[in-house]
Amino acid sequence: TSMDRIAARADVSKRTVYNHFPGKEALFAAILQKLWDATRTGSSPAYRADVPLREQLLALLDRKMRLLGDEAFLSLARVAIGAAIHSPERARDMVERLGEREEDMTVWVRTAAAAGRLSVTDPVFAAN
């Protein structure tokens, strides 16, 4: 089973996995939480009126690219995607949860627009 593979990958017994997670759903929720938390590591570069926009955008993009290239993040993403494929309910929950959270770039665009440094009608679209 997948729990056997998880235990083998973690180099622990299946019993140890179940001691920490009562079932696959709880394990999947923990994996998603870890993946979610990984996107928020460190302090997000906040908009600064005294720093050129280009410099700030490059810092935001650099941070995002480092995250997307991080092997631990990619491994978690693969697990989450694989699990979501097998459960439409999980996929729906993931999409809803992603929709509730505003990404760092969107927050930055909103703040820069509010300060009059950017002219945007849709900060979410502009951030993507």
User: How many CB atoms sit inside 10 A of residue 80's CB?
Assistant: 19
Residue type at 95 in one-letter notation: V
At 64, is the pLDDT very low, low, confident or very high (cuts 50, 70, 90)? confident
- Could you report the per-residue pLDDT of 88-116, keeping only the tens digit for each? 777 777 667 655 566 778 889 999 999 99
pLDDT at 1: 57
Token pair, residue 90, equals: 């999980």
The pTM assigned to this predicted structure is 0.61
Residue 108, classified by CB atoms within 10 Å of its CB into exposed (0-12), middle (13-18) or buried (19+), is buried
Q: What local confidence, expressed as pLDDT, does residue 56 receive?
A: 93
Ordered domains of the chain (ranges, CATH): 2-127 (1.10.357.10)
Q: What are phi and psi of 103, to 5 degrees?
A: -70, 155
